[in-house]
Amino acid sequence: MAQSWIPSHTALARHPKTRRLSRELGLPVPAVMGHLHCLWHWAFDIAPDGDLSRFEAQDIAEGAMYDPSHYDEAWEYDADFAEQLVKALVAAGFLDQRGEVLILHDWDEYGGRASGDSGRSSDAATLGNHIRWHERRGIVAPDCPLCSGGLAPESPPIDPESQTRQEETRQEEKEKPSSSTSSITTDSDGTHLDDDDAAELPDLEQHLIAEGRVPSDVEVVLKRLHERRAFGGAPINDPVAWARKVLQSMAACRSADPGEERVILLDDGTRMRYEPPHGWVELEEAS
């Protein structure tokens, strides 16, 4: 009898999102990875579209098999522990939330496709990407149906207090003076990124997505950048230019004829192949 499965990335333990969830919950990374996989496996069967909005926090905690008493025998029951788990998952980026809407991040790229429920999961992924890349950053993308057509009537309105904080943050960023001693990179939307700041993954991720890059491709590129910086790989003098160059190659591979081998070669000798619907697969280093 065939077994159901979902992809599990080898870099999950080293990913900044996993590290942050570890800090948020006060648990070691291996424990966090176990709860994540339990959550994904539960969603695969119970919520194949990746939309967890209809579930209570307690349901999600049970799906993730998260119980603080497993880690602290002296822990006294607190009904808020499930809510704290959900908040930690949102803060770390494993869940996308907008009011009452709660969606597994990038589920369309993982469990949704594997479960064969790609139609419904694609709708959830569209909303999730809109929340993360457009709404939270105050960006209106002309090719986004939710930006141009508005959100579905059942979706709750944007929290005015949250929107005010976003506007204040954007205004503060505009008023920041640029350093005369730093090398400045001009982004396509007219903003400026200090080379050091541009190398920080969240900032670079935001700008690349705003340029219209494929979110799953951006995630792969930033993972490569993070690994090279973390494990002493060849230095990248201009991470913005490097990321854009790799993303251009990835876009060309995506548009290639199905019969062609969709492989790109990175400057460190790593080869990556695009294999729909699973995405990018790292191959052995070229000799």
The answer to whether residue 176 sits within a structural domain is: no
- 23 and 143 housed in the same domain: yes
The answer to whether residue 31 sits within a structural domain is: yes
The answer to whether residue 221 sits within a structural domain is: yes
Q: Residue 102 pLDDT more than 70?
A: yes
For the record, the structure tokens of 169 come out as 């943050």
The answer to whether residue 166 sits within a structural domain is: no
- Residue 108 has a pLDDT of 72
**What's this model's pTM, rounded to 2 decimal places?**
0.46
For the record, the structure tokens of 265 come out as 């070669």
Least confident range of 155-159, 176-180, 232-236, 245-249? 176-180
- 146 and 192 housed in the same domain: no
Strands 271-275 and 263-265, how do they pair?
antiparallel
Question: If you search the block for the tokens 């251009």, which residue do you land on?
Answer: 248
- 193 and 146 housed in the same domain: no
The answer to whether residue 178 sits within a structural domain is: no
How far apart CA 87 and CA 92 sit, in angstroms, is 9
Q: Residue 43 pLDDT more than 80?
A: yes
Domain boundary among 159, 191, 214: 159
How far apart CA 2 and CA 82 sit, in angstroms, is 33
Under a CB-based contact definition with an 8 Å cutoff, are residues 212 and 248 in contact?
no
Please, which residues bridge with residue 274 across strands?
280
Summarize the confidence of residues 62-66 as an average pLDDT: 95
- 30 and 95 housed in the same domain: yes
- 148 and 261 housed in the same domain: no
Summarize the confidence of residues 209-231 as an average pLDDT: 77
Least confident range of 105-114, 136-145, 228-237? 136-145
Domain boundary among 159, 175, 207: 159
How far apart CA 31 and CA 39 sit, in angstroms, is 12
Q: Residue 189 pLDDT more than 50?
A: no
Q: Rg (Cα) of the chain, in Å, rounded?
A: 20
Mean pLDDT of the chain: 72
For the record, the structure tokens of 46 come out as 């119970």
The answer to whether residue 168 sits within a structural domain is: no
The answer to whether residue 51 sits within a structural domain is: yes
- 1 and 63 housed in the same domain: yes
- Residue 207 has a pLDDT of 73
Cis peptide before 277 (omega within 30 of 0): yes
How far apart CA 228 and CA 273 sit, in angstroms, is 19
Banded model confidence at residue 245, pLDDT cuts 50, 70, 90: confident
Strands 184-186 and 101-104, how do they pair?
unpaired
- 107 and 210 housed in the same domain: no
- 109 and 67 housed in the same domain: yes
Cα 30 to chain centroid, rounded: 20
- 217 and 262 housed in the same domain: yes
Residue 76 lies in domain: 1-159
- 35 and 99 housed in the same domain: yes
The answer to whether residue 10 sits within a structural domain is: yes
Cis peptide before 16 (omega within 30 of 0): no
- 126 and 189 housed in the same domain: no
User: With helix as H, strand as E and coil as C, how does 115-133 read?
Assistant: CCCHHHHHHHHHHHHHHHH
**Total domains, the chain:** 2
Domain boundary among 159, 194, 209: 159
- 9 and 61 housed in the same domain: yes
